[in-house]
Amino acid sequence: MNSTSYFSRSFRTVLVSALGICFLVSASHATQATGAKTTFAQTLVESTHAHHPETTEIGIAARSSRGCETIASTDRGDIGEKCEKDDLTPMKTGNPFVEKEKDGFDVSLPLHDAQGKMVGTVGIEFKSEPGQTESSVLAQAKTIAAEMETHIPSKAKLYERAE
């Protein structure tokens, strides 16, 4: 093995690791700057939103002893709001809810933990793009939700304070 290819592979490994750490740290710092309590769910929606500029907003809704409500959102004003039809439909049916709006699409999907157990819903808003269809936006939303699910070990984790 020549030293150039070894250096190149090593550099890529370090770079990818550093970018992953920066991804989580930047989301954590952004939420800490507001002075609000930051949960794992909040860090997850903010870091996901940072990696998906095609989205305008991401939120997580879940049922708890207080009922169904938004527990994390890139629009912090939504946190604590009671669930609406677009949140409840995926929880009840297991199917996505897609709504075309004047400025894009709003997609709500069931959200699962890494073992496949439903923990709530994820709502993802997309800005309007030329050629967008309901099916193309739904496919994008499913990809984003699947990425998020790999980071959720359990529903309880969503509520834990972020480090």
Q: How far apart are CA 91 and CA 104, in angstroms?
A: 23
Question: Residue 110 carries which DSSP code?
Answer: E
- Digit-coded pLDDT (tens) for 49-72: 999 999 999 999 999 888 999 999
CATH of the domain at 77: 3.30.450.40
For residues 18-47, average pLDDT? 61
Angle subtended by helix axes 3-33 and 40-51, to nearest 10: 120
Q: Which of these ranges, 12-26, 33-47, 148-162, has the smallest mean pLDDT? A: 12-26
Structure tokens at 131: 């050629």
Rounded (10°) CA dihedral 58, 157, 35, 121: 20
- Backbone torsions φ then ψ of 15, nearest 5 degrees: -65, -45
Tell the burial category of 133 from Cβ atoms under 10 Å away from its Cβ (0-12, 13-18, 19+): exposed
| Mean predicted confidence (pLDDT) in 123-135 | 94
Q: Is the pLDDT of residue 121 over 50?
A: yes
Contact call for residues 161 and 129 (beta carbons, < 8 A): no
Number of domains present in the structure of the chain: 1
Q: What angle do CA 130, 96, 40 make, to 5 degrees?
A: 95
For the chain, what percent of residues have pLDDT higher than 90?
Answer: 73
Domain span holding position 68: 3-159
Instruction: Locate 125 and state its tokens.
Output: 């808003």
Name the phi and psi angles at 16, rounded to 5. Answer: -60, -45
Residue that is written with structure tokens 């946190």 in the block: 79
User: Is this model's pTM higher than 0.75 or not?
Assistant: yes
Q: How confident is the model at residue 163 (pLDDT cuts 50, 70, 90)?
A: confident
CA dist., res. 81 & res. 40, Å (int): 18
Neighbouring-strand partners of residue 124? 58, 107
